[in-house]
Amino acid sequence: MKKCKGMRAVILLRCSPGKYRKVAREIKNLSEDILVFPILGRWDVFVKTKIDNLNELREILGKIMKIGSIEESETLIEMEV
């Protein structure tokens, strides 16, 4: 797999009612390289991370989905302009 230096991904999460703060705190503890905060709207938690390849993204997503209280997610990968 080709290494992509500095690729970024945004992960949007919908959480069980009232659980967005708990989910955001647990994700924040996963890595210093993860920006995470609760948001208003269709999604409950915004996660942004810098990755080197898609395998690294898969690992991060696996850790996030093990947290629990996450009902739905959508992952967006940055593209070059």
Domains located in the chain, CATH noted: 7-77 (3.30.70.920)
Residue 72: the pLDDT is: 97
**Residue 52 — φ and ψ, nearest 5°?**
-95, -25
Counting Cα atoms < 13 Å in the Cβ hemisphere of 25 gives 4
Checking DSSP bridges between strand 70-77 and strand 45-51, what pairing results, if any?
unpaired
pTM: 0.87
> Splitting the chain (81 residues) into consecutive groups of 10 residues, what average pLDDT does each group show?
72 97 96 93 97 93 95 93 73
Residue 1: the pLDDT is: 46
Distance CA 76, CA 79 (A): 9
CB burial readout 13-23, b (16+ within 10 A) else e? bebeeebbeeb
